[in-house]
Amino acid sequence: MRVFNLVFCLIASLFVVATVRAEPQWLTLPPTPTLPKAEESGLAPVNGIRIWYATFGKGDPVVLLHGGLANANYWGHQVPALAERYRVIVMDSRGHGRSTRDERPYGYELMASDVLGLMDFLKIPKAAVVGWSDGAILGLEIAIRHPARLTRLFAFAANSDPSAVKDVDRSPVFTAFIARAAKEYEALSPTPGQYQSFLKQIGRMWATQPNYTATQLNGIRTPTWIVDADHDEAIKRENTEYMAAEIPDAGLLIQPEVSHFSFLQDPRQFNENVLHFLARH
């Protein structure tokens, strides 16, 4: 019995040490999830390119828009939770994931028109948008230029201009994401050998866009939540607060103990926030 107690105490001590040494979740990059089986998926002809999409569930439509360099698989933890109540649509942005592109330079206005083109293809007149990073900016773009197509906007980790972006080169988590994105691009893209060119072009867009004025933000009438993480590696908090203040009646939500990759690090918290927002009248 004494030996058993000693062994038990040793194991318990090791567990405590391991727990103490474990990195906080905002410093982790959990694995990219997989999407559940889709009810419909394919490549839609949009704006002269082919946009990969998948749909899940039934109900009011909700479009999930991923961040730059990523792909629709990143929503693998959100789709099952949302598809219980909504028709969920995911897509790979032009040149990302399984989607193709043309010679036109990347830009948020062009990429937002791809979202609307896919909605037209699926015969969806208007939808809610849940966007992450570049996807959240696409949501803002639609809210500013095409408000009739949008029912509500959950904008996570957006920025209104390039000065609001931190130096992500200093972030180990973001550096790991860029490395992961390279492998995923090679595995999914119809042009698997062009990641470095792709990265350079997206970087050029990030350096020059978006450039939303206070007047444009003031003009948004879509019910909107501006959301970010308390440990976001990429977005300056003051810009998040600025956008929430400028958009009339917008909500401001700062998710605790997570980073730019909140939906991977704490999907339960992220999903509960999204479902609460979508259910509001």
**3-class SS string, the chain:** CHHHHHHHHHHHHHHHHHHHHCCCHHHCCCCCCCCCCCCEEEEEEECCEEEEEEEECCCCEEEEECCCCCCHHHHCCCHHHHHCCCEEEEECCCCCCCCCCCCCCCCHHHHHHHHHHHHHHCCCCCEEEEEECHHHHHHHHHHHHCHHHEEEEEEECCCCCHHHECCHHHCHHHHHHHHHHHHHHHHHCCCCCCHHHHHHHHHHHHHHCCCCCHHHHHCCCCCEEEEEECCCCCECHHHHHHHHHHCCCCEEEEECCCCCCHHHHCHHHHHHHHHHHHHCC
> Which residue shows structure tokens 């970087």?
203
pLDDT in tens, 265-278: 999 999 999 999 99
pLDDT band of residue 106 (cuts 50, 70, 90) is very high
pLDDT in tens, 126-154: 999 999 999 999 999 999 999 999 999 99
pLDDT in tens, 208-225: 999 999 999 999 999 999
- Cβ-in-10-Å burial (0-12, 13-18, 19+) of 37 comes to exposed
- What mean pLDDT value characterizes the chain? 94
pLDDT in tens, 27-68: 999 999 999 999 999 999 999 999 999 999 999 999 999 999
Q: Which of 17-31, 94-108, 226-240 is predicted with the least confidence, judged by mean pLDDT?
A: 17-31
pLDDT at 15 over 90: no
Q: How many angstroms separate the CA atoms of 121 and 108, rounded?
A: 20
What is the phi-psi region of residue 95: left when phi exceeds 0, alpha when psi lies from -120 to 50, beta otherwise? left
Average pLDDT estimate for 75-102: 98
* Beta strands 127-132 and 61-65, pairing class: parallel
pLDDT value at residue 21: 53
pLDDT band of residue 8 (cuts 50, 70, 90) is very low
* Beta strands 224-229 and 251-255, pairing class: parallel
Pick 38-279's CATH classification: 1.10.3720.10, 3.20.190.10, 3.30.450.40, 3.40.50.1820: 3.40.50.1820
Q: How many angstroms separate the CA atoms of 2 and 7, rounded?
A: 9
Average pLDDT estimate for 156-162: 98
* Beta strands 127-132 and 150-156, pairing class: parallel
pLDDT at 164 over 60: yes
CA 231 to chain centre: 16
pLDDT at 279 over 60: yes
Give the residue among 94, 121, 119, 281 at the shortest CA–CA distance from 201: 94
**Residue ranges covered by each domain of the chain:** 38-279
pLDDT at 260 over 60: yes
Give the residue among 21, 25, 24 at the shortest CA–CA distance from 266: 25
